[in-house]
Amino acid sequence: AAQAAPPGDKDVIANLWSWNWNSVARECSGHLGPAGYGGVQVSPPQDSLTRGGAVWWDVYQPADYTLTSKFGNESQFAAMVRTCHDAGLKVYADAVINHMTGQGSTSYGGRSFGKYNYPGLYSANDFHYYSEDCGNSDNLIHDGDYGGSARNVQNCELVGLSDLETEEEYVRGAIAGYLNRLVALGVDGFRIDAAKHTNPGDLGNIYGRVSGSPYIYQEVIYGGGEAVQPGQYTGIGDVLEFQYGRYLREKFYGNIADLRTFGETWGGMQPGGKSVTFVANHDTERGTTALSYKDGAAYRLANLFQLAWNYGTPQVYDGFTWSDREAGPPHSGGFVTDAVCGSGWECLHRDAAITGMVGFHNAVKGSAVANWSAPNANVIAFSRGAKGWITINNGTGSYAGTFATGLPAGTYTNVTGGGTVTVNASGQAAVSVPAKGSIAIVAGATSSQAPVTFNVNAS
């Protein structure tokens, strides 16, 4: 059975998308653990269609549930899980369980297959196509279906991918067997890919067959007026909150002072306690509705805001540098062998301001937002109770002002960039916030004390 929230006080998830297992392991012990991240999300670990390195999306087309993939083999995967655990992190795997590959004939693991035929695992009658359950004569999901009936969205084929008959006993058992194999290797939870395209009753049944209490968060992209809604899935796990990054893009290209009320009262958003948030993911960074690393300072500031704000379980995303939106990651013979920061790979998760805010996030947990101030459309400041305070300047000029911080008097370290901040006996600080910059302070992290967990160099 699923559990509702990630365990422990450290809940920030680094999403190392398309990273190979050996590089994830290196990152867990060298950077993520020391910085205070609580978990790492890794790419789909099962065998899949191979397009020989040309595209990123072949890994979302499962060919088998054995664990030789673009990102490494089973022993590398298992070693990565152990290393990340030793570094204090949970490991969450991207689980592609709505469908099997819809094209091609060979896999990373060297297996042969055809559409609706995956030897030793699934055959034709395990798919909706053969049971005539879809409702569309071409068996595909069409754009117009989303506003129509859940049956089309969940029983037809997503971009032609062979749609598993998840109401069938054999299929449920096979999927649960795959998830249990990962749990046996130490996996702590799952991002459920394309959950919107599987009936939540079927998913609940499958989760019920999984041992332990993995943390489950599901990809259910919100659309106003659609037949399938994220709220239909919050009874069986958490959901990825797609409105979050959409609104942040809108406000960081508009008026960040509007963020004062940001949260579940905003259109389409779920309760924070049911949501995993992200400024970008691998799909949204390739679209037009979210900020991405290509947006530079605004993207970084939005991530700092995410780690400071009291809503959801935050994810910090890093994939590879790209210009062609279909192109795959750097590879050797199709396989990803080394994710090198700054050399084809993005590493916001190592940024000193981001790691400082991971420490902030952990330190302020449970404290409400207070002391909100927005002197203009580009500058905001708020505290989390008396535990931490941040100001963000999204403008192109520096801003000097005096703010109520909610913190006791003292001289604090700016955890987003160094330097000190003096808070007076009335709890106020006079600061100059750099253009496209930030200042954040944490109770207990005064400049006379040893830094807490946020002070990790990006080397």
Per annotation, catalytic residue among 193, 285, 295, 346: 193
Q: For this structure, is 193 an active site residue?
A: yes
Which option in ligand LAG, Ca ion, none does residue 163 bind, with CB closer than 5 to 8 A by kind? Ca ion
Half-sphere exposure of 217 (CA within 13 A, CB side): 27
Contact between 161 and ligand LAG by CB under 6 A: the answer reads yes
What 3 state SS string does 12-41 have? Answer: CEEEECCCCHHHHHHHHHHHHHHHCCCEEE
Should residue 197 be labelled a site residue for Ca ion when binding is judged by CB under 5 A? yes
| Cβ–Cβ under 8 Å, residues 216 and 236 | yes
Please name the residue that has the structure tokens 């007026």: 225
Question: What does the block give as tokens for 245?
Answer: 């990054």
74 is catalytic: no
Q: Which does 57 bind (CB under 5 to 8 A by kind): Ca ion, ligand LAG, none?
A: ligand LAG
For residue 119, give the nearest of 169, 63, 193 by alpha carbon: 63
- For ligand LAG, the binding residues in 49-68 under the rule CB under 6 A are 57-58, 60-61
Identify each DSSP E strand in 13-103 by its residue range: 13-16, 39-42, 90-95, 99-100
How far the first Cα of the chain sits from its last, in Å, is: 40
- Stretch of 7-15, 154-162, 358-366, 418-426 contacting Ca ion, by CB under 5 A: 154-162
- Tell me: does residue 96 bind ligand LAG (CB under 6 A): yes
Is 160 a residue that touches ligand LAG (CB under 6 A)? yes
Residue with tokens 């700092």: 304
Q: Does 266 bind ligand LAG (CB under 6 A)?
A: no
Where is 432: in which H helix or E strand? strand 428-433
Comparing CB distances to ligand LAG, the nearer of 290 and 379 is 290
The yes or no reply on residue 163 touching Ca ion (CB under 5 A) is: yes
Q: CA–CA separation, 402 vs 423, rounded Å? A: 10
Total count of residues recorded for the chain: 459
Which one of 64, 219, 285, 351 is the catalytic residue? 219
Q: Which stretch binds ligand LAG (CB under 6 A): 77-85, 124-132, 152-160, 226-234?
A: 152-160
Tokens matching residue 183: 């749990």
Tell me how many residues contact ligand LAG (CB under 6 A). Answer: 15
For the annotated catalytic residues, the residue numbers are 193, 219
Interacting residues toward Ca ion by CB under 5 A: 98, 154, 163, 197-198
Interacting residues toward ligand LAG by CB under 6 A: 57-58, 60-61, 96, 102-103, 158-161, 193-194, 219, 283
